[in-house]
Structure 1
């Protein structure tokens, strides 16, 4: 598995050393390029495997539900929880997710028969209602600095289905880009299952990968 991904990651790294400046992703000459495989390391489990330009495992996601999940965890290579992604309402027309730092398993308090999460989310991601009503809308989702934050911090535009998305901040700078990677390694075509995540310096690559996981839940 990693033989294929390591070869692909090297090709991705070489390509992005001369990244087109008009994309604004690498205008300052520094970015992180990750290869994302839409496959879990665990057999019979959905998820993601993410490696860096040297072929080292950096992030992983294991989704045991096999599809739409109420909660997902982004882990590092050692299996440590970095982010917990919690869906607000599974059957709602518009997806709404809270992003918590670390593992929230120990951050509940008992309130009678229900358990209430006491940790506050560090991010709140809301699917664009226009995207639900109009399939040609270019805005996919909005990112806020918490559930009660009224000011949008980032906008996600493009098409996740075609692996062509950009995360744009409020000064109209592209800070993250998802790009399709056409490559054949060992005679195997990866298609849409393997793609490139380019993260501009100063933006957390872990959170960028968390956004990928949420886009996958929203649009797959």
Structure 2
């Protein structure tokens, strides 16, 4: 993250092939900070220091809704906390729409399976039903999470960023490592949801 105002870059594209597991994963650096003054959110860079994703939560904005944008500020996903539900659920929509959610994320509360954080399932009517069934395990507070698909393959990981030049990074800077089987926008959308579920001070966005 040597660039404060890096040039824009398109969201990284995953490659698909029968030997996709031999392809190097995509690694993004996630900074839990907005580039805009008086905003909370995320700033996400690729391995070349280019801005890929951003989240800017303005004061006075809808506190139950968070929008994931590309580097130019175009909305990619909208995350909404589903109120009045038996379980703690978040719905994720394409763009800025709030109709026909793309998928839903339920906070895991089963103490018998404590390492499980959330379950991701396709929302009713989603055209991408077969590709969006994930289980998230680990600890978001420790920035140590694994996303498994329905075949129990690791498709994404949240990891602490290693110290560089003797400078250690805290929990506000971490890595998002993605395999070709998961779309980068979906993976970053899951980071946004996990932060809403387990991010401590960030929970004020949906009070």
Q: 1:43 to 1:5 in 2, by over 3 A?
A: closer
Q: 1:161 aligns with which of 137, 141, 155?
A: 141
Which of 178, 182, 201 does residue 162 from structure 2 map onto?
182
Distance apart, 1:83 and its partner CA: 0.4
CA shift, 1:166, in A, is 0.5
Give the structure 1 partner of residue 115 of structure 2: 138
CA distance in structure 2 between the aligned counterparts of 1:143 and 1:198, rounded to whole angstroms: 18
1:197 aligns with 2:176: yes
Partner SS state of residue 30, structure 2: strand
| Greater Cα offset, 39-48 or 72-81 | 39-48
TM, length-normalised to structure 2: 0.78
Q: What is the number of residues matched between the two proteins?
A: 183
Q: Is the 8 A contact 2:21 2:180 kept in 1?
A: no
Are the counterparts in 2 of residues 180 and 192 from structure 1 also a CA contact under 8 Å? yes
CA contact (8 A) 1:98 1:147 kept: no
Give yes or no for contact 2:38–2:59 (8 Å, CA) kept in 1.
no
Which structure is larger by alpha-carbon Rg, 1 or 2?
1
Segments of structure 2 that go 5 or more residues without pairing to the other structure are: 7-19, 200-207
Q: 2:159, 2:174 within 8 Å by CA — same for their partners in 1? A: yes
**Residue 127 in 1 paired to residue 111 in 2?**
no
- For 2:86 and 2:46, locate their aligned partners in 1 and report how far apart those are by CA, in whole Å: 35
2:81, 2:119 → 1: CA distance?
A: 15
Moved over 2 A (4+): 1-6, 91-95, 147-152, 187-190
Equivalent residue for 2:92, pick from 84, 88, 99: 99
Distance 1:120 1:51 in 2: 30
TM-score (normalizing by structure 1):
0.73
Residue 55 of structure 1 pairs with residue 49 of structure 2: yes
Cα distance in 2, alignment partners of residues 147 and 44 from structure 1: 37
Query: Who is 1:107 aligned against?
Result: none
Is contact 1:182–1:191 with CA below 8 Å preserved after alignment?
no
Contiguous gaps of at least 5 residues in structure 1? 7-25, 105-116
Aligned partner of residue 49 in structure 1, secondary structure:
strand
